[in-house]
């Protein structure tokens, strides 16, 4: 990747026809993917801002972590295809890769697993935070609060300028998120917290904390643990999505890692983003039967109707989300393992997908199922309440958020994020005393 044009042709000439001003903007090539036009000098050279609400054509940073080719439906983590990582790896191996840039060797993996296991407990005082919430609080509200408040405890890992403290905070967040999520669930259920166990792998430990009780031994189903581990891999990182961009923007001001991850949790909560997995299940329940699918597809196309087909469409993927294919396969695996035959919601989801993918509106707009379309059916089959679905997404995405946060802080070009705007408000005017106003 070069920061300067490799040849004169690697520039774009921008001419402002009204002022006659021109500027040569360098084109920068990455490893793969489209080149970027470096517009950092645009305002100083041309007295112009760019305008790109939603950042549809704007690169916010350089990153070596994840690459997505939306047209081809390709997702790479540090160059490795998601399909290969999901097939052959496990979540902590993926976490090591995403965080450190290379697949771990045997010794590195053993140490990483041990380190993460030994950071999985929460300070006992933190358990009292949960009690401040209503039992019927949305789990994402509890997670925002508890994760943000972790900054009040782990003072020895909030100095963002100390690489060691950054890594300690990174390990703590990856290690403790399953405990936070499981305890959020237990608190809502009115059941006692179950402590993490260092003899269990990451996904098994999470399921054990979710479903064990002090009253009797609980054996984690290894097929479900493998499925959960794979689902966590699929949700680990995804380039500069809304919540990751939120974490980067919060981190660019120098905010501590716990505050930044809490900000990411807040952004992920939205139904257009991580909240979609919860919204998909609500949508399937609302549709109710295959006979009503045409009615809802009609609504999804109606610009005057706010209804959207949840779990469908993506800002980047204009092809099938590679994660959704693996999720669909995992869905069948989990239902088979649990002996759930003819799950009506899965039947409905597959029929909805079949019809939508043959509908001109969806074909024309290249709308395909995304990672959220099948996840809720799997989680529900595992006994996880709908309101917890996005919390599981946050659990997995903590790896990506923290890796991107570290990358942002070590980027020599990083500055505080501060976009500009197109002002369309009132023209300059003077204050009128009350008695002079109409």
Q: Which residues form the catalytic set?
A: 314, 372
Distances (CA, A) of 33 to 28, 168, 244, 383: 11, 33, 20, 41
Q: What tokens were used for 322?
A: 């590679």
| Dist. CA 329–CA 325, nearest whole Å | 6
Residue choice 288, 365, 383, 410 for contact with ligand SDX (CB under 6 A): 365
Which residue, among 205, 142, 151, has the nearest Cα to 179 in the 3D structure?
205
Decide: is 148 part of the binding site for ligand SDX (CB under 6 A): no
3-class secondary structure, 68:
strand
> What is the smallest separation between the CB atom of 356 and ligand SDX, expressed in angstroms?
9
Decide: is 77 part of the binding site for ligand SDX (CB under 6 A): no
Of residues 267-296, which lie at the interface with ligand SDX (CB under 6 A)?
Answer: 272-274, 276
Of residues 43-72, which lie at the interface with ligand SDX (CB under 6 A)?
Answer: 54
Cβ atoms within 10 Å, residue 292: 12
Decide: is 139 part of the binding site for ligand SDX (CB under 6 A): no
Q: What tokens were used for 206?
A: 């999470």
Q: Site for ligand SDX (CB under 6 A): how many residues? A: 22
Phi, psi at 48, each rounded to 5°: -125, 145
Decide: is 309 part of the binding site for ligand SDX (CB under 6 A): yes
- Give whichever of 129 and 237 is closer to ligand SDX, judged by the CB atom: 237
The one segment of 97-105, 160-168, 303-311, 409-417 that binds ligand SDX by CB under 6 A: 303-311
The one segment of 72-80, 247-255, 366-374, 418-426 that binds ligand SDX by CB under 6 A: 366-374
- Give whichever of 171 and 312 is closer to ligand SDX, judged by the CB atom: 312
Decide: is 372 part of the binding site for ligand SDX (CB under 6 A): yes
> What is the smallest separation between the CB atom of 230 and ligand SDX, expressed in angstroms?
15
3-class secondary structure, 408:
helix
DSSP 239: S
Distances (CA, A) of 269 to 25, 143, 144: 38, 10, 10
> What is the smallest separation between the CB atom of 52 and ligand SDX, expressed in angstroms?
12
> What is the smallest separation between the CB atom of 224 and ligand SDX, expressed in angstroms?
22
- Give whichever of 192 and 419 is closer to ligand SDX, judged by the CB atom: 419
Which residue, among 376, 408, 63, 139, has the nearest Cα to 252 in the 3D structure?
408
| Dist. CA 150–CA 175, nearest whole Å | 13
Residue choice 210, 265, 266, 310 for contact with ligand SDX (CB under 6 A): 310
Q: What tokens were used for 48?
A: 């112009």
153, 143 in Cβ contact below 8 A? no
Cα 308–309–313 angle (5° rounding)?
95
Which residue, among 81, 83, 115, has the nearest Cα to 96 in the 3D structure?
115
339: Cβ contacts below 8 Å, ≥ 6 apart? none
> What is the smallest separation between the CB atom of 255 and ligand SDX, expressed in angstroms?
21
Q: Looking at beta carbons, which residue is closest to ligand SDX?
A: 313
Decide: is 238 part of the binding site for ligand SDX (CB under 6 A): yes
Residue choice 26, 264, 313, 322 for contact with ligand SDX (CB under 6 A): 313
Q: What tokens were used for 61?
A: 């940073």
| Dist. CA 211–CA 220, nearest whole Å | 9
The one segment of 107-115, 127-135, 161-169, 309-317 that binds ligand SDX by CB under 6 A: 309-317
The one segment of 139-147, 210-218, 363-371, 426-434 that binds ligand SDX by CB under 6 A: 363-371
Decide: is 166 part of the binding site for ligand SDX (CB under 6 A): no
Which residue, among 132, 404, 96, has the nearest Cα to 245 in the 3D structure?
404
Residues in contact with ligand SDX, shown as a per-residue x/- string from 207 to 236 under the rule CB under 6 A: ------------------------------
Decide: is 152 part of the binding site for ligand SDX (CB under 6 A): no
**Cross-strand pairs, 67:** 76
407, 63 in Cβ contact below 8 A? yes
Residue choice 91, 112, 211, 312 for contact with ligand SDX (CB under 6 A): 312
Phi, psi at 285, each rounded to 5°: -65, -40
> What is the smallest separation between the CB atom of 348 and ligand SDX, expressed in angstroms?
16
Task: Quickly tell me which residue has 């080149």 as its tokens.
Answer: 35
Decide: is 371 part of the binding site for ligand SDX (CB under 6 A): yes
> What is the smallest separation between the CB atom of 363 and ligand SDX, expressed in angstroms?
11
Q: What tokens were used for 224?
A: 């479900």
- Give whichever of 120 and 370 is closer to ligand SDX, judged by the CB atom: 370
List contacts with ligand SDX (CB under 6 A): 54, 238, 241, 272-274, 276, 300, 308-316, 365, 367, 370-372
């Amino acid at each position: 990747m070069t920061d300067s044009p490799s040849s004169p042709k690697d520039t774009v000439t921008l001419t402002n026809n009204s002022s006659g001003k021109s500027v040569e903007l360098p084109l920068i090539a990455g490893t793969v993917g489209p080149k970027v036009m470096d517009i950092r000098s645009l305002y100083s050279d041309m007295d112009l801002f760019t305008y790109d609400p939603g950042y549809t054509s704007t690169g916010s940073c350089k990153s070596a972590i994840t690459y997505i080719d939306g047209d081809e439906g390709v997702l790479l983590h540090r160059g490795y295809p998601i399909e290969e990582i999901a097939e052959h790896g496990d979540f902590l191996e993926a976490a090591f890769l995403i965080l450190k840039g290379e697949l771990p060797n045997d010794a590195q993996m053993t140490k990483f697993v041990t380190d993460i296991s030994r950071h999985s407990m929460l300070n006992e005082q933190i358990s009292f935070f949960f009690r401040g919430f209503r039992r019927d609080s949305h789990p994402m509200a509890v997670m925002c609060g508890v994760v943000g408040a972790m900054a009040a405890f782990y003072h020895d890992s909030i100095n963002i300028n100390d690489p060691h403290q950054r890594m300690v905070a990174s390990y703590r967040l990856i290690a403790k998120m399953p405990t936070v999520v499981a305890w959020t669930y237990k608190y809502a259920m009115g059941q006692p917290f179950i402590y993490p166990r260092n003899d269990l792998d990451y996904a098994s430990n999470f399921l054990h904390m979710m479903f064990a009780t002090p009253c009797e031994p609980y054996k984690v189903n290894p097929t479900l643990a493998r499925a959960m581990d794979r689902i966590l891999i699929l949700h680990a990182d995804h380039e500069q999505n809304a919540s990751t961009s939120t974490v980067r923007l919060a981190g660019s001001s120098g905010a501590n890692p716990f505050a930044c991850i809490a900000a990411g949790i807040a952004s992920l909560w939205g139904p257009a983003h991580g909240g979609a997995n919860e919204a998909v299940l609500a949508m399937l329940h609302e549709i109710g039967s295959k006979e009503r699918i045409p009615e809802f597809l009609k609504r999804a196309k109606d610009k005057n109707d706010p209804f959207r087909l949840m779990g469908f469409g993506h800002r980047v993927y204009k092809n099938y989300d590679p994660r959704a294919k693996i999720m669909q396969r995992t869905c069948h695996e989990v239902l088979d393992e649990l002996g759930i035959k003819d799950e009506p919601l899965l039947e409905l989801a597959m029929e909805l997908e079949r019809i939508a993918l043959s509908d001109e509106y969806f074909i024309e707009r290249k709308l395909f199922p995304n990672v959220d379309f099948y996840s809720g059916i799997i989680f529900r089959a595992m006994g996880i309440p709908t309101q917890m679905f996005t919390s599981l997404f946050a659990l997995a995405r903590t790896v990506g958020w923290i890796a991107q946060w570290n990358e942002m802080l070590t980027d020599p070009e990083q500055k505080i994020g501060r976009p500009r705007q197109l002002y369309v408000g009132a023209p300059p005017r003077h204050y009128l005393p009350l008695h002079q106003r109409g």
